[in-house]
């Protein structure tokens, strides 16, 4: 009977159990290419500001004088354009997403190198 | 003649995925006129082209729509490449075609779910979206994003798919074909589904032509209009024939989309079989100068991309004519004379994407 055409699928899915995962208890595996958030290896950074210039949303700020690199997490659109233009390849995409937040979060990374020794770095 | 009543429909309504407002003029239970109003999600993305350079704008173009995001990026890139006379590598063309066809599958499956939801078949809706999840996983594995891929770039694509993954996709396509069959059998044959779609909202071939219907809406009314036949990207090298139905009702529109899912599976498999090795991107130097029109086929229909460049890195103008915008006049035509209970199905049947329409 054509009105029961869905029955087979329904019985199959009852036998199969849920297709979704119980999120906080069981986490879904991410893939290698998953673009979660931008991560930086700050010790490698040369503060060339290439990422800041190319960022479509202006989320990245580079401060050469203070040797700091910061990103506004809510502005970032995870396009990974910055990771491609980085000449030192110190930027990469992390598989994990940023934690949810109500207000803008600016993550700042400051180089731990001793400022007195700047010339030698 | 009964007393006329006006019922406001939307912008917030359980059946509407996005905000559109319709003033429905009713005589008893029958709609005699519908007056549309849009403008709830305008974001000014076309104006943004003056602030972002032509390479950055690729990411803005992708965000015009969440469902056909890849094809917006592709349309924009094709336009700029044509202005700059850039010939992209063959492999990039095939990769674009694979992602475009997968996008079409996921868009049509999403739509099938929404249609099932519109006539109240919740389990069918759930199962349609369950299948869609597998396609989203392919996207995440190959591009890194589930909805916004950010892989299209002026001059080619930014990420390659390895031979191993292509083989895996080919296998998933075989599995999906079987799973889709279970779902589409219900849409094709189930009595309760047919009672809500057959003969509802008939759009004649002449009306579809006169009102400028595009995509599945036009093809369901017997107009053989599919931009893929132009042979952009790798479509010229694939065995492809537009799917056309003649009835022009909701059932025909559903049927066109379901057959297109199978066609997309076939096209992806064809692409995987003949994809050439080689580069995926050519280096683009300089700035575009000139203007160009591109027409490509999105899941919802034909999209027109126009760009005007002035020799600097900022473009003068980008104009996008989206398929939903073209399909609103045919929708108003089909609404005339339908029962109030059929309005949700008719609105969903054009596959409305209001974010695209307003940009």
3-state secondary structure B70-82: HHHHHHHHHHHHH
Q: Which domains are assigned to chain B? A: 43-326 (1.10.645.10)
B47-67 burial code (b ≥16 CB/10 A, e <16): ebbeebbbbbbbbbbbbbbeb
pLDDT in tens, B174-207: 999 988 888 888 888 888 888 888 888 888 889 9
- The partner residue sitting opposite B190, judged by closest CB among A6, A30, A34, is A6
Instruction: Report the sign of the C-alpha dihedral through residues B230, B235, B240, B242, in that order.
Output: negative
B103: confidence class by pLDDT, cuts 50, 70, 90: very high
Q: What's the pLDDT score for residue B259?
A: 92
Rounded to whole angstroms, the Cα distance separating B22 from B91 reads: 45
Angle (nearest 5°) at CA B62 between A106 and B243: 155
Average pLDDT over residues B291-306: 90
Q: What's the first-to-final CA gap in chain A, in angstroms?
A: 79
Residue B130 touches chain A, beta carbons under 8 Å = yes
Nearest chain A residue to B141 by CA: give it.
Answer: A31
**How close B304 gets to chain A, by Cα (Å)?**
24
pLDDT over 70 (residue A117): no
Cross-chain residue pair A6–B150, CB shorter than 8 Å: no
Q: Which positions 73-112 of A are in contact with B (Cβ < 8 Å)?
A: 77-81, 84, 93
Cross-chain residue pair B145–A78, CB shorter than 8 Å: yes
Average pLDDT over residues B262-280: 90
Cross-chain residue pair A33–B191, CB shorter than 8 Å: no
Nearest chain B residue to A96 by CA: give it.
Answer: B144
Residue B162 touches chain A, beta carbons under 8 Å = no
Closest CA to B199 of B26, B15, B338: B338
Extract the tokens encoding B109.
Answer: 């499956």
Cross-chain residue pair B142–A6, CB shorter than 8 Å: no
Q: What's the pLDDT score for residue B68?
A: 84
Cross-chain residue pair A81–B56, CB shorter than 8 Å: yes
Rounded to whole angstroms, the Cα distance separating B122 from A6 reads: 11
Residue B140 touches chain A, beta carbons under 8 Å = yes
Cross-chain residue pair B150–A31, CB shorter than 8 Å: no
**How close A111 gets to chain B, by Cα (Å)?**
29
A114: confidence class by pLDDT, cuts 50, 70, 90: low
pLDDT over 60 (residue A34): yes
Residue B224 touches chain A, beta carbons under 8 Å = no
User: Angle, to 10 degrees, between the axis of helix B250-274 and the axis of helix B90-118?
Assistant: 150
- The partner residue sitting opposite A5, judged by closest CB among B63, B133, B186, is B186
Cross-strand bridge partners of residue A39: A92
Cross-chain residue pair A81–B59, CB shorter than 8 Å: yes
**How close A50 gets to chain B, by Cα (Å)?**
13
Rounded to whole angstroms, the Cα distance separating B239 from B229 reads: 10
CATH architecture, domain A28-120: 2-Layer Sandwich (3.30)
Q: What's the pLDDT score for residue B101?
A: 92
Instruction: Report the sign of the C-alpha dihedral through residues B204, B206, B212, B217, in that order.
Output: positive
ipTM over 0.90: no
Cross-chain residue pair B56–A3, CB shorter than 8 Å: no
Closest CA to B63 of B277, B358, B356, B261: B356
Cross-chain residue pair B144–A54, CB shorter than 8 Å: no
Cross-chain residue pair B130–A19, CB shorter than 8 Å: yes
A45: confidence class by pLDDT, cuts 50, 70, 90: confident
Cα Rg, chain B, nearest whole Å: 20
Q: What's the pLDDT score for residue B53?
A: 87
Closest CA to B184 of B248, B105, B249: B105
Cross-chain residue pair B159–A33, CB shorter than 8 Å: yes
B108: confidence class by pLDDT, cuts 50, 70, 90: very high
Average pLDDT over residues B318-344: 89
Residue B314 touches chain A, beta carbons under 8 Å = no
- The partner residue sitting opposite A77, judged by closest CB among B59, B121, B159, is B59
Residue B190 touches chain A, beta carbons under 8 Å = yes
pLDDT in tens, B73-102: 999 999 999 998 888 998 999 999 999 999
pLDDT in tens, A92-106: 888 888 888 888 788
B15: confidence class by pLDDT, cuts 50, 70, 90: confident
């Amino acid at each position: 009977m054509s009105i029961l055409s869905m029955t087979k699928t329904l019985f199959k899915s009852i036998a199969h159990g849920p297709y979704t995962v119980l999120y906080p208890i069981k986490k879904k595996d991410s893939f290698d290419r998953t673009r979660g958030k931008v991560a930086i290896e700050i010790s490698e950074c040369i503060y060339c500001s290439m990422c800041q210039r190319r960022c479509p949303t202006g989320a990245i700020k580079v401060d050469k004088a203070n040797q700091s690199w910061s990103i506004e997490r809510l502005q970032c659109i995870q396009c990974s354009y910055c990771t491609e233009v980085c000449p030192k390849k110190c930027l990469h995409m992390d598989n994990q997403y940023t934690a949810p937040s109500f207000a803008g979060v600016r993550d700042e990374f400051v180089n731990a190198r001793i400022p007195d020794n700047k010339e030698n770095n | 003649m009964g007393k006329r009543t006006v019922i406001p429909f939307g912008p917030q309504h359980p059946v509407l995925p996005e905000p559109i407002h319709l003033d429905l003029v009713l005589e008893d239970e029958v709609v005699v006129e519908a007056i549309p109003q849009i403008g709830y999600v305008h974001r000014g993305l076309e104006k943004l082209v003056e602030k972002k350079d032509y390479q950055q704008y690729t990411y803005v173009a992708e965000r015009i729509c969440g469902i056909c995001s890849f094809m917006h990026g592709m349309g924009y890139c094709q336009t700029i490449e044509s202005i700059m006379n850039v010939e992209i590598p063959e492999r990039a063309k095939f990769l674009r075609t694979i992602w475009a066809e997968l996008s079409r599958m996921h868009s049509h499956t999403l739509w099938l779910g929404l249609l099932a939801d519109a006539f109240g078949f919740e389990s069918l809706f759930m199962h349609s979206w369950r299948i869609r999840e597998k396609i989203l996983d392919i996207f995440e594995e190959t591009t890194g994003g589930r909805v916004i891929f950010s892989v299209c770039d002026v001059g080619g694509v930014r990420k390659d798919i390895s031979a191993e993954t292509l083989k895996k996709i080919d296998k998933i396509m075989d599995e999906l074909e079987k799973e889709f069959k279970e779902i589409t059998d219900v849409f094709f044959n189930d009595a309760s589904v047919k009672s809500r779609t057959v003969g509802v909202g008939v759009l004649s071939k002449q009306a579809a032509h006169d009102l400028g219907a595009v995509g599945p809406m036009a093809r369901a009314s017997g107009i053989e209009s599919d931009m893929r036949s132009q042979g952009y990207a790798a479509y010229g090298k694939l065995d492809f024939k537009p799917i056309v139905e003649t009835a022009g009702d909701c059932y025909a529109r559903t049927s066109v989309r379901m057959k297109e899912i199978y066609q997309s599976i076939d096209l992806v498999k064809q692409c995987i079989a003949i994809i050439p090795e080689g580069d995926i991107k050519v280096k683009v130097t300089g700035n575009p100068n000139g203007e160009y029109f591109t027409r490509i086929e999105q899941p919802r229909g034909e999209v027109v991309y126009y760009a005007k460049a002035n020799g600097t890195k900022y473009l003068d103008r980008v104009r996008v004519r989206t398929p939903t915008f073209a399909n609103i006049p045919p929708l108003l035509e089909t609404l005339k004379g339908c029962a109030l209970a059929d309005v949700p199905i008719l609105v969903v049947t054009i596959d409305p994407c209001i974010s695209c329409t307003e940009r």
